[in-house]
Structure 1
């Protein structure tokens, strides 16, 4: 990742990898714009309390939109990194796979970001604009020394299975080729496919977490991804929709930071 290895970028990456284990546990909380509520989930009662619970139970970073930061106390980020999400799109649109930029890199820096993230749906009708946005943000990140997380998925009218290994590899390649430091994507189910993908990707791959409704199966899949060489986990709904977000996060932290991958995933319930 020497393409933009500035001092500022190294400092910010160190903040992301604050646990020193080489793995990254991110909790995306950017869902309200797309239509999935966050702040009333679990037992937290507010976004600020939820972020505090995440900080106390092993998260390395959270992903938030700029307006959400008004509702989170600054002290929450003493032991937690902030990734400001620059993309948005709603499920109400005639093109639910569309994403547009709603924040810029310099604005994110003014908000205190340690990194930024951009969402791209490869295969969407608006794929060309989304790719252009990712490339432009990568250039700004290069200029300011800001780590970039690309959330890239194979999604669109012609995509039958976004987890197909060929499509996931393509999504990861898009992120790497356009200058991202990390890529979050949905991973294939088969362990053999996971190993090939992580070995062939030049940047760390963060396995998307899925929903709490998937229960133990989601955790088993994430454990497989970590065994196969994933660089970490990015789980939002799996955490904030859980009956006990803190307990769920501790289980994920064991996979990412303790590398407790050979232990059976017993006693996991929602």
Structure 2
């Protein structure tokens, strides 16, 4: 379908088939935290660094619209829950594919937590969104996490492999999962999921080297890039960090080379 191909090229590098996505949807789940209070400034920085797309909820599309600067793809997030809820892992659908199209989205995303009592409803919602996205030629990013009462360790390799496969089999075009801790184990995740796999950033990390080593490991394992929010928009230099990501993901740079880029040195 030509519409989906055109939109995919707006959120993924057409040459490398890799992507750098920066989610900015955290305001619904945890409130106006540092880094997303001024969306326009943050979007400008990550766009300048070479990010392919951002993720936003529908109400902030106009606020993040810039009249100049590098273009960047727009992914509208359809799922929501808040940390104020007694069941924050239960995601509900708050936007439709059609509404996202009217807002100018290049793709849509859903969040599914497996292994809890609300899995049934989230999978049902996922199936409906997948159907609508396919009908409209809209790329679909699925954020898949083993997270709930039945999950002892949400970073367990087997659980993440399963979550990634569910995302692919339910019709996602890109699947987002947590990193498993090593290139060797993450390669198993990628090999078991016949769609591009990107890694989440998770909680804010203190070490730039740790972040870049995680990106390098996922890339070496065959991953398709990153979908990182807090570790990017709360970084002291979001533009430089995205540039460092791009060097690893799109050019195969080493961690040392990426560190040099982040630190503003010539490589």
How does the TM-score come out when normalised to structure 2? 0.91
Structure 1: stretches of 5+ with no match in the other structure: 1-5
Matching residue within 11, 16, 28 for 2:23: 28
Q: Quote the residue 2:54 is aligned against.
A: 62
**Secondary structure class of the residue paired with 2:84:** coil
2:248 maps to 1:255: yes
For residue 137 of structure 1, report the CA deviation from its aligned partner.
0.3
**Secondary structure class of the residue paired with 1:75:** coil
Q: How does 1:1-270 map to 2 (within 5 A)?
A: 6-18=1-13, 20-38=15-33, 40-41=34-35, 46-75=38-67, 79-215=71-207, 216-261=209-254, 263=256, 266=259
- Mapped contact 2:165–2:192 kept (Cα < 8 A): no
C-alpha distance 124-190 of structure 1, shift in aligned 2 (>3 A): same
Partner Cα separation in structure 1 for residue 173 and residue 106 of structure 2: 13
C-alpha distance 57-169 of structure 1, shift in aligned 2 (>3 A): same
**Secondary structure class of the residue paired with 2:46:** helix
Partner Cα separation in structure 1 for residue 149 and residue 96 of structure 2: 29
- Mapped contact 1:19–1:257 kept (Cα < 8 A): no
- Mapped contact 1:210–1:218 kept (Cα < 8 A): no
**Secondary structure class of the residue paired with 2:62:** helix
Residues 38-79 of structure 1: CA deviation (Å, up to 9, x unaligned): 4x42xx861111111111111000000000112122536862
- Mapped contact 2:11–2:52 kept (Cα < 8 A): yes
Partner Cα separation in structure 1 for residue 222 and residue 160 of structure 2: 15
- Mapped contact 1:164–1:188 kept (Cα < 8 A): yes
For residue 199 of structure 1, report the CA deviation from its aligned partner.
1.8
**Secondary structure class of the residue paired with 1:213:** coil
Partner Cα separation in structure 2 for residue 34 and residue 203 of structure 1: 27
Q: CA RMSD in A?
A: 1.9
Partner Cα separation in structure 1 for residue 68 and residue 82 of structure 2: 28
Bigger Cα displacement from structure 2, 190-199 vs 98-107:
190-199
Partner Cα separation in structure 2 for residue 8 and residue 55 of structure 1: 23
- Mapped contact 1:121–1:152 kept (Cα < 8 A): yes
> How many residue pairs are counted as aligned between the two chains?
261
Partner Cα separation in structure 2 for residue 77 and residue 206 of structure 1: 26
**Secondary structure class of the residue paired with 1:149:** strand
**Secondary structure class of the residue paired with 2:116:** coil
Bigger Cα displacement from structure 2, 193-202 vs 128-137:
193-202
Partner Cα separation in structure 2 for residue 49 and residue 191 of structure 1: 34
